[in-house]
Amino acid sequence: MPAPAFHRLSRKSRTLDTTLGPHPAVGPCPAAAMALSASALPAAGNPSYADARPTMGIPSFAEARSARGIPSDAAVRPTGGIPSDARGRSCDPSVRLMAGFLSLIALALVGCASPASAQRRAPAEAPGPPEMTIVPDPLDRGSPGRVILKGVGLDAAPRGVFDGKPVFFFETAEGLTGIFGADIMIGLGDHPLEVSWKGDSPGRLGSAVTVRDRDYGTRSITVPRGQVELSRADQERAAREKVLTDRALATVTPERLWRGAFLEPVDAAINSSFGRKTRMNGVLNPRPHAGADYLAKEGAQVRAPADGVVILAGNHFFAGNSIYVDHGQGLVSMYFHLSEILVEEGQHLKKGDIPIGLVGKTGRVTGAHLHYGVYLNGARIDPSVFRKLTSTLREQ
């Protein structure tokens, strides 16, 4: 019977001859060419084994004894209580050869498995160079926009600037996201937006945001003459209050307090939308309406649309009973013309807290309603558009 085919182990170099090529079970790894099954090796008592042994250049046990001058009929001396036949079998070079060969096969399989395992555990490709995307572009006057930054982490402390105002970033499924606002009175055309970051690989990116006009319409209202042509005392009062409200609207808390979609502040429909110009007592006011008016009944409960802190609460000439809430990172919301204020300055609010106040008709009004406004780093933006934007964020 012809000797079975398997790799030869060179006695001089102790290296493997892999001329038989890859084993079909383990692929093209050179070491895997040794992976013969144990059944392919001849048993020690198989006659075919004697045929295979000479091809390996290893003398038989009897030949080895003869070379050392031991008569062929001399018995193997038992030692340590081990029977001679058992000791002879344990020292047979063919047995040792098979044991060593099987050990090499196991090592070969381990050697081939390691590269494959390493390939399966290979790390993901390194992120590409930093890039940013602006959504939407162009941007309407009085609308919020988003800048999405990829390839940069929060640990690099990214900061943005739009129209001279800061842009803060937080994590979303799309990448780091910053929200900015185009004020209702911002100039038309291109405005620069720049983002920079620190860390091991500091850098900077810049782009232009195109701002376009939008016709929000016009409304006409009639109010008492004394609320349009102010007395000296009312002018002085309004000036003092403006200092307080401007300070509140300029609040920039580094920490972001809100999460998720903003809620509607009251259960009612909007009857006078953001951005409309007002013709008051027949005279057109060049300043557009900087909030949304909800036609709610007097006494209706007003809720906190998001987490925040009350930074100003009081009665003002134009806004009546009003509340200003800081939501962090330059985002401030306000609630005007209330009949009652049910919160205090410094009070922490949770999203959905109700009531923070009651709808009324204080200040310069024509009837009961809630004026709800949103400022983002000083930019007056449409609260309805902002609420929709927050509902699309997939935060991490």
Q: Which stretches of the chain are DSSP H helices?
A: 47-52, 61-67, 84-91, 93-120, 232-249, 383-392
1-10, 170-179, 252-261, range with the lowest pLDDT = 1-10
Per residue in 87-121, pLDDT (tens digit) is: 444 445 555 656 565 665 655 555 554 444 444 55
Higher model confidence: residue 128 or residue 281?
Answer: 281
Architecture of domain 218-382: Distorted Sandwich (2.70)
98: helix, strand or coil: helix
Higher model confidence: residue 43 or residue 322?
Answer: 322
Q: pTM here?
A: 0.68
Yes or no: say if 360 and 379 are a contact pair by the CB < 8 Å rule: no
Radius of gyration of the chain from its Cα atoms, rounded to whole angstroms: 42
Per residue in 11-27, pLDDT (tens digit) is: 333 333 333 344 444 44
Phi/psi-derived region of residue 61, left when phi > 0, alpha when psi is between -120 and 50, beta in every other case = alpha
145: helix, strand or coil: strand
Per residue in 26-48, pLDDT (tens digit) is: 444 444 343 334 444 444 444 44
48-57, 128-137, 253-262, range with the lowest pLDDT = 48-57
The pLDDT confidence band at residue 221, using thresholds 50, 70 and 90, is confident
Q: Give the CATH class of 131-212.
A: mainly beta
Per residue in 150-171, pLDDT (tens digit) is: 999 999 999 999 999 999 999 9
How far, CA to CA in Å, does 130 sit from each of 119, 136, 156?
27, 20, 12
Do 218-382 and 131-212 have the same topology in CATH? no
What ranges do the domains of the chain cover?
Answer: 30-120, 131-212, 218-382
